[in-house]
């Protein structure tokens, strides 16, 4: 039985009947469209999965950032430590060594100034010391006879005899 025939006795006004028919068609169309859309359960599951993925990505990002920051900080600390060691070594090298007086009183060792500005002067003084020591060694070696000289003289004497 059609809708029109079924309700013909109840709705005598054709305009109301038409409106009711349109109303039913509208509700049917809306219901069909809403019923055939993806179920809320699936949508919720998809939303949950997306939320979990976003959270995981966020955690990964935060962990990566923190790790990078820690590594960078550690690297900076190592560099600072190395620089400090180097500076301390330089400082120790530039500090005046305990004054070792040479055995020879003729040798004059110039005083090394402790400040860093006097570094070229200290270097030139060291060179002078080295030259002086070389001169002393040469003089001393001249006074010592050559090792083969006595034997050579003996041979000469035997030959002449």
Partner 1 sequence: MPDSPLLDSRSIRHENECREPVNLRLMDTSTKSMAAGTAVKPLTVEAAEAIAAHDFAGIVESHRPQIFRFLLASLRDVDLAETLTQECFLKAHRNWKHFRGDSSAMTWLMRIAINLQKDHWRNRRLQFWRRTQANAVDVDEASEWLPNGERNAEQQILAREQVAQVWKAVGSLSGRQRTVFLLRYVEERELSEIAEATGLSEGTVKAHLSRALSRVRAELRGKR
**Contact call for residue 5 and partner 1 (CB under 8 A):** no
Q: How far is the CB of 55 from partner 1 (least distance, A)?
A: 25
- 115: which 2 tokens? 């400040």
Give rounded-to-5 percent helix, strand, coil for the chain: 75, 0, 25
Residue-wise DSSP of 56-85:
HHHHHHHHHHHHHHHHHHHHHHHHHHHHHH
Can you list the pairs that 14-20 forms with residues at least 24 positions away whose Cβ atoms lie under 8 Å?
A: none
Contact window for partner 1 (CB under 8 A) among 34-42, 45-53, 63-71, 113-121: 34-42
Restricting to residues 97-136, name those near partner 1 by CB under 8 A. Answer: none
Contact window for partner 1 (CB under 8 A) among 27-35, 57-65, 67-75, 148-156: 27-35
Can you list the pairs that 127-133 forms with residues at least 24 positions away whose Cβ atoms lie under 8 Å?
A: 132/107, 133/107
User: Which of 4, 8, 30, 56 is the binder for partner 1 (CB under 8 A)?
Assistant: 30
Q: Select 19 or 83, whichever has its Cβ closest to partner 1.
A: 19
**Contact call for residue 45 and partner 1 (CB under 8 A):** no
State how far the alpha carbon of 46 is from the alpha carbons of 29, 41, 53, 147, in Å: 27, 8, 10, 103
Q: Select 27 or 83, whichever has its Cβ closest to partner 1.
A: 27
Restricting to residues 6-25, name those near partner 1 by CB under 8 A. Answer: 6-7, 10-11, 13, 15-16, 18-20, 22-25
Q: Which residues bind partner 1 (CB under 8 A)?
A: 3, 6-7, 10-11, 13, 15-16, 18-20, 22-35, 37, 39-40
């Amino acid at each position: 039985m059609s809708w029109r025939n079924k309700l013909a006795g109840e709705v005598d006004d054709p305009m109301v009947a038409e409106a009711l028919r349109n109303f039913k068609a509208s509700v049917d169309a809306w219901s069909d469209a809403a019923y055939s859309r993806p179920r809320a359960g699936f949508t919720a599951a998809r939303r949950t999965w997306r939320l979990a993925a976003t959270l995981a990505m966020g955690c990964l990002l935060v962990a990566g950032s923190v790790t990078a920051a820690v590594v960078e900080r550690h690297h900076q600390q190592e560099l600072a430590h190395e620089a400090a060691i180097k500076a301390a070594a330089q400082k120790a090298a530039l500090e005046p060594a305990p004054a070792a007086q040479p055995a020879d009183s003729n040798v004059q060792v110039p005083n090394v100034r402790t400040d860093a500005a006097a570094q070229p002067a200290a270097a030139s003084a060291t060179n002078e010391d080295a030259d002086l020591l070389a001169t002393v060694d040469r003089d001393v070696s001249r006074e010592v006879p050559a090792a083969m000289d006595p034997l050579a003289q003996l041979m000469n004497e035997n030959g002449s005899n």
